[in-house]
Structure 1
Amino acid sequence: MTVECDTCDVGAAVFVPPVVVETHDIGTNPDAVQRFTFTRMQRIVRGFCPLCSGPFDREVLGPMGESDNQRVAIAHTCEECGYVVKTTAVVLLTDHPAVVSMLDDAGIDYRDIAFWRRPQGVEYREQLPSEEPLRLRLSPVSRTSVSHS
């Protein structure tokens, strides 16, 4: 299934089992897809393959484009079954305590963020200062840079 944000250029191809689509009215309840995808991404971020529960190996693929809201691509490959998931690096930070706190201060519940939709008013640039160890810097677009380590 491909889902796209209705207010920006973000989109994602996501695997959604037929039972999720069949048992939820996706047209009137699109949050069912978001909740399913969020739960699946939590497993991936924590290093578990959503297919076989094997461990993931992560590889930085590099920047995705040259725009102001540039993203850094990460490939997660299951060491057991070979399943590959590609995400942006920011997905790895979504439930980091500092990020959760920052979003909460802005009135945003991180659990409600769909991976194909940026929260309203949240624009950032991902920068990769180091791959070993992996470090990611998020900087607000058109604002003063803020970094967390």
Structure 2
Amino acid sequence: MSEQFSEQVDPGAVFSLLGNETRLEILQTLWATDVETVPFSTLYDAVDVDDTGQFNYHLGNLVGQFVAKTEDGYRLTQAGRHVNGAIASGSYTVEGELEPIELDGSCRMCGGSQYLQYDTERVEVECDSCAAGWEGIVPPAVLAGRDREAIPTVVSDHLRTQFRRIAAGFCRYCSGETVPTVQPIAELAVGTEPEEDGPPADQPAVQFECRRCGHRSGLSLDHALLLVEPEVECFFYEHGIHVRETPVWNVPELDPGNAAVIQTDPTRARATFRIDDDELLVTVDEELQVVEIDRRNN
């Protein structure tokens, strides 16, 4: 790694910079402006502080990490934008109880009715007739101001965007590099109790772990391949299924039960996608690298 990208600032020092009302006001003022760069005088007039020396002191502490100083004035760095985004994201709550929303279409596993529920940043899609379901994290800010009938589409689009970002190698929290590991669920979930209605312990899944912050996200092998392998998406498209326009919890013929570990040492796992009489078999190694693709017509 190049030296200019490898320096890391002490987290305590970073957060200490934000522990002041004036500094946060400076960041939010720069965030709210209609111009890229704000002159010193304009910024000073907009912030509620009467002492020029105090203003200079607080602004100076932000320069470098959260604010960039240029010949024309001051602008937010990407870190500064992320701070404001975090403030905006955390400034919303879902007031009252969000009643379950019945979804269009039916459960892809049994044909039953599906319902979307939301509680404290967690969204769950459940079927009223079988154990099939889906869950994910959606900040309240994503749903703020949305009409009730639009919520399922918004949730699906948000989750798909997050999944694609993780599968592309970027942590959803710190933008660090995510590294995939393909293993049986039992090995990826060491130290956790298996779910009673969950998938078999020997079924393969993909765990994406961030090398920077350590955050882990898991996906079934078939869904991960749908995100990272173009031939899988093309397979669906050839059969008239536009997966990017289909809710993430209801992609037809997407079934974790069609995946299996077929070899160990080295690990080889295979997902089989079936539509009508066609099959697409995708075999991957432990790092989610495709080692074989087989197309069959039965």
TM-score range, shorter chain: 0.7 to 0.9
Provide the identity percentage.
Answer: 22
Unaligned runs of 5+ in 2: 1-121, 186-198, 283-292, 294-298
Q: For the structure 1 residues 89 and 101, does the alpha-carbon distance in structure 2 shift closer, same or farther, using more than 3 Å as the test?
A: same
Stretch moving more, 34-43 or 101-110: 101-110
Q: Tell me the matched-pair count.
A: 143
Larger Rg: 2
> Secondary structure of the residue that 1:28 maps to in structure 2?
helix
Q: For the structure 1 residues 3 and 71, does the alpha-carbon distance in structure 2 shift closer, same or farther, using more than 3 Å as the test?
A: farther
In the alignment, which of 44, 60, 63 is matched to residue 166 of structure 2?
44
> Secondary structure of the residue that 1:99 maps to in structure 2?
helix
Q: Which has the higher contact order (CA 8 A, sep 6+)?
A: 1
In the alignment, which of 21, 34, 43 is matched to residue 156 of structure 2?
34
Given that 2:222 and 2:271 are in contact with CA atoms closer than 8 Å, whether structure 1 keeps it comes out as no
Unaligned runs of 5+ in 1: none
> Secondary structure of the residue that 1:59 maps to in structure 2?
strand
Given that 2:179 and 2:211 are in contact with CA atoms closer than 8 Å, whether structure 1 keeps it comes out as yes
Q: Report the alpha carbon displacement of residue 116 of structure 1 after superposing the two structures with TM.
A: 2.4
TM-score (norm 1): 0.77
Does residue 1:21 correspond to 2:143, yes or no? Answer: yes
Q: Report the alpha carbon displacement of residue 59 of structure 1 after superposing the two structures with TM.
A: 2.4
Q: Report the alpha carbon displacement of residue 135 of structure 1 after superposing the two structures with TM.
A: 4.4
Q: Larger helix proportion, structure 1 or 2?
A: 2
Q: For the structure 1 residues 48 and 102, does the alpha-carbon distance in structure 2 shift closer, same or farther, using more than 3 Å as the test?
A: same
Match of 1:116 in 2: 249
Given that 1:129 and 1:137 are in contact with CA atoms closer than 8 Å, whether structure 2 keeps it comes out as no
Given that 1:77 and 1:84 are in contact with CA atoms closer than 8 Å, whether structure 2 keeps it comes out as yes
RMSD: 3.0
What CA distance in whole angstroms lies between the structure 2 residues aligned with 1:82 and 1:54? 9
Q: For the structure 1 residues 111 and 39, does the alpha-carbon distance in structure 2 shift closer, same or farther, using more than 3 Å as the test?
A: same
Match of 1:60 in 2: 182
Q: Larger strand proportion, structure 1 or 2?
A: 1
In the alignment, which of 224, 232, 237 is matched to residue 104 of structure 1?
237
Given that 2:171 and 2:210 are in contact with CA atoms closer than 8 Å, whether structure 1 keeps it comes out as yes
